[in-house]
Structure 1
């Protein structure tokens, strides 16, 4: 299924099910959110989120909210600046701030493939094709292994807070689990983007298992690490 949606480039990948808080201050993104608010109350307020490959999500002159143009920070070719896969986001809550701008909370819904980008309006819009979810062979067995290794990984990162992680429950659905682990792992954008683009949950879980083993091995060689709140997602400034 193809669609055209407002496009919000970010410095990191968004996964289905992940909650995304946004602090919207640039004029181009204020226009995007304003158009979402203008939709009928019952209409879904959805936009496309894609990670930036070459460029930046905040334009050099955008901190004061001035009009920076839809391509500011991305160069002349948005398809070259952006990754080819992203995630549709549903804006569940939008609050206008005093002095302009918005605070927005959205949730990742479904992956998409980026087909084209239009920069003729006040903000970017994208033609996208939704990517159906596939479980893949062996996902159940891989999920059990990922849960075991992820629990160990969390405890090693948490250090002195190890007891606080005992008894944590994980989703039974391999697809949901794969996205939870992908979002919670400490990894760079290229690695997270690769997980987002993996065709099915089994492949994603297998890749996460390799990453968890690698990261746990690295942690074992370090003398100490500060406590890390894995489920906390920072507010993204556009």
Structure 2
């Protein structure tokens, strides 16, 4: 899931880009409300198959002050592709869509003229091989990270608002799934996305969830339920 079959490709390729003020992690679902004309066109191209595999790249902007992405310095270097799952066209031409994060990429160049929307030249990012003899340590780290996730979710959500990743979740994907239910700052999510050592990624997510659970307990406050957070995933206007 984290790095699918296409992630085995070598060299570079191009794909449409969707800059956001948030970080998409592999395996996470991303609902979007599409209202800008250029991204309406991107959605049409995804639905009709003009864009191969109905897939585009989500890349996080470095600052919320950016209104128009034109260069690499305005976005983070590592992003995540996402595949269109559902698309509902509204009467005024806007779209409500749901996508699922797939695989990581490094953005090498941005083309602002090849299409109505941004197009990026990218190369795939894959995990480093697990060290020999690390399986047992990985399982122990997975148990610790899952326990941190449970502590966070019990502090933050009602029971019906979160679920644990399945027991057979691959070690390389587990950190992403644990982070999906949690409200982490953009920089922390970006660091998880960029980490290519699976055990370090699990260690990092364990540390982050433990920290956030401590904050929630100390402040005696909880974030809004996940069902009410859809608006946070909507893109800022880039006009």
Scaled by the length of structure 2, the TM-score of the pair is 0.80
The Cα of 1:105 is off from its aligned counterpart by 1.2
Distance change in 2, residues 1:198/1:129 (3 Å):
same
In 1, are the aligned partners of 2:165 and 2:177 still within 8 Å (CA)?
no
**Corresponding residue of 1:181:** 178
The Cα of 1:234 is off from its aligned counterpart by 1.3
Distance change in 2, residues 1:56/1:50 (3 Å):
farther
SS in structure 2 at match of 1:8:
strand
RMSD between aligned residues: 2.6
SS in structure 2 at match of 1:199:
coil
- CA-to-partner distance for each residue in 1:10-59, whole Å, 9 max, x for gaps? 11111111111111010111121122233269x510101111113458xx
Q: 2:189 aligns with which of 184, 187, 192?
A: 192
**Corresponding residue of 2:147:** 148
**Corresponding residue of 1:69:** none
- CA-to-partner distance for each residue in 1:72-131, whole Å, 9 max, x for gaps? x135x4201111001111112222110112111111111111111101131100011111
**Corresponding residue of 1:132:** 126
Unaligned runs of 5+ in 1: 58-72
In 1, Cα distance between the equivalents of 2:80 and 2:162?
Answer: 32
SS in structure 2 at match of 1:86:
strand
The Cα of 1:184 is off from its aligned counterpart by 1.9
The Cα of 1:177 is off from its aligned counterpart by 1.6
In 2, are the aligned partners of 1:147 and 1:170 still within 8 Å (CA)?
no
Scaled by the length of structure 1, the TM-score of the pair is 0.81
In 2, Cα distance between the equivalents of 1:169 and 1:192?
Answer: 18
Higher helix fraction (1 or 2): 2
- CA-to-partner distance for each residue in 1:199-231, whole Å, 9 max, x for gaps? 122111111111122223323322x22465358
SS in structure 1 at match of 2:86:
strand
Count, aligned residues: 217
**Corresponding residue of 1:49:** 58
SS in structure 1 at match of 2:76:
strand
Q: 1:86 aligns with which of 79, 100, 115?
A: 79
Q: Does 1:17 align with 2:27?
A: yes
**Corresponding residue of 2:200:** 203
In 2, Cα distance between the equivalents of 1:188 and 1:144?
Answer: 24
The Cα of 1:153 is off from its aligned counterpart by 1.6
